[in-house]
C-alpha cells in the first residue's frame, strides 16, 4: 500500500506550473514554496511523462495500470 501524499494535488500542480511558466530553477521554486527540491524535481519529471514529453518514465496512467495488476 502506498504512503499517503504529504502535499495536496492542487499544491503539486501549482508548483509544477510555477517551474514551467517562469522557467526558474527547480531549486529556487522549491525554496520559495518550502519543499525539498528533489520532491519538486520528481513532480516535474512525472508531469512531463504524463504529457508524453519524456520517454524514460511511465505515464501516470501506465503506473496506475501496473499498480492494479499487482
Residue 58, domain CATH: 1.10.10
Q: What burial class does residue 67 get, using C-beta atoms within 10 Å of its C-beta: 0-12 exposed, 13-18 middle, 19+ buried? A: exposed
Residue 24 in any domain: the answer is: yes
1 lies in some domain: no
Specify the number of domains making up the chain: 1
Does 3 reside within a domain?
A: no
54 exposed, middle or buried (CB, 10 Å; 0-12, 13-18, 19+)? Answer: middle
pLDDT classification of 67: cutoffs 50, 70, 90? confident
Q: Are 30 and 40 in contact (CB under 8 A)?
A: yes
Q: Which domain holds residue 44?
A: 9-69
pTM (predicted TM-score) = 0.71
pLDDT tens-place string over residues 32-55: 999 999 999 999 988 887 776 766
Cα–Cα distance measured from residue 62 to residue 37, given in angstroms and rounded to the nearest whole number: 25
Amino acid at each position: 500500500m502506498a504512503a499517503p501524499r504529504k502535499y495536496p494535488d492542487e499544491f503539486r500542480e501549482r508548483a509544477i506550473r510555477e517551474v514551467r511558466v517562469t522557467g526558474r530553477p527547480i531549486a529556487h521554486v522549491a525554496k520559495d514554496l518550502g519543499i525539498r527540491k528533489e520532491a519538486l524535481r520528481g513532480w516535474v519529471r512525472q508531469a512531463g511523462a504524463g504529457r508524453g514529453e519524456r520517454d524514460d518514465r511511465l505515464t501516470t496512467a501506465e503506473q496506475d495500470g501496473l499498480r492494479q495488476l499487482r
